[in-house]
Amino acid sequence: MEHTQTFVEEIKLASKFDHPNIVAFIGAAWSSGFDMQALFEFVENGDLRSYLSATSLSRYWTRTKLQLAVDVIEAIVYVHTFTPPMALRNLKSHNVLISAEMQAKLTDVPDSGSEVGTSRWLAPEVISGRSDYNPAADIFAFGVLLSEFDTHTLPYDDAMDNGGSKLEGGVILQMVASGNLRPTFSDTCPPIILELAKQCMAQEPRDRPPALKVAYTLRTLQREAFNL
């Protein structure tokens, strides 16, 4: 019964969203209380993580890559403008799908339950338990996502200890929570994106820019770099 109620709450939540950068909810089907399905828009080109892992993809910030980042932040702006504000809770490259038209669409948005997302994208205050997941934690996750757009690698994948061995997941979490570790960026990363990512990944939630300001910054870069 509890699982049924959770499913119903998820369906109610999904039906509220109407945004081009969020995977569209189509409907629900069930044959019994234990056999229920939610139907969502089919998005053809897989997820962002797979796209960035493609060996033929340029590491530079192309028009397409920047537009995908803009798509993601505009979906975040939309979710954060609900009253009361909602949080995505599970923003990561695996949950960003790409359409045939190369448009980014968020999936698993948002989770109505208490679970939060994968550890590599979690904000310090969520890791440490100082704060519940909130919109500012989404902004931190977006900053981490910008590092993926830039390097095409998973966040902290290059983090090493003094002996040259990869850091374990638990150590990474501790260092992120204490403010001693953030994802790396390439030497070719545009300064405006690097600075924006640093602001998004500020240690204190109050120091992170709101989603609307992040979107404005990326839109400005689009106009200046590509006349979009």
Q: Tens digit of pLDDT for each residue in 18-48?
A: 899 999 888 777 766 567 777 788 899 999 9
Lowest mean pLDDT among 26-30, 65-69, 111-115, 116-120: 111-115
Alpha-helical runs (H) found in 59-210? 63-80, 124-128, 135-151, 169-178, 191-200
Helix, strand or coil for residue 168? coil
Residue 39 β-bridge partners = 27
For the chain, give the mean pLDDT.
88
Fold of 44-226: Transferase(Phosphotransferase); domain 1 (1.10.510)
Least confident stretch, 12-16, 113-117, 176-180, 216-220: 113-117
Residues in CB range of 83: below 8 A, 6 or more apart: none
Q: What confidence score (pLDDT) does residue 110 get?
A: 58
Q: What are phi and psi of 43, to 5 degrees?
A: -115, 120
Domain ranges in the chain are: 44-226
Contact 74, 21 (CB under 8 A): yes
Per-residue model confidence as pLDDT tens digits over 54-100: 877 788 899 999 999 999 999 999 999 998 888 998 999 999 999 99
Residue of 39, 25, 109 lying closest to 71 (CA atoms) = 109
Two tokens at 144? Answer: 């981490």
